[in-house]
Amino acid sequence: MARETKAERLAREEAERFLAREELRESYHERLLSLMERAQAANFEVTVRAAGFLLEDRDDRRERVLPLTLVWDDANEDNLGELSWRVDMKEEAGREAQRKVLVKQNALSKLSQEERELLGL
């Protein structure tokens, strides 16, 4: 098998980038709606304004508001990625808090009545 020339490699890489962008563009609406549902469950405020959406974290107003529209472009793709990351972090924090509650409940269930009284529980 002959080695690929630099021009062939560059053409192949460009074709792969083009296909990846097309896949992102085609799946944008599905990803947007799915992520907006997760964001709302993660306590993000969704405001419809000017044929687009503004998403703001109700728990952390210092974070910037993320604008998204129904039209795919690089800016919307970047904002969708940031929103995805922020929602993932909030969901992970929620799971960790739930895990800690379960560990604490499990530990407390092992204490005797005398130990509970001594600890003031």
pLDDT digits (tens, 9 = 90+) for 2-31: 788 999 998 999 999 999 999 989 999 999
pTM above 0.85, yes or no: no
User: What is the model's pLDDT at position 121?
Assistant: 77
Q: Residue 36 in contact with residue 85, Cβ under 8 Å?
A: no
What SS3 class is residue 45?
Answer: strand
Q: How confident is the model at residue 1 (pLDDT cuts 50, 70, 90)?
A: low
68: left (phi over 0), alpha (psi -120 to 50) or beta: beta
* E strand spans, the chain: 44-49, 52-57, 66-69
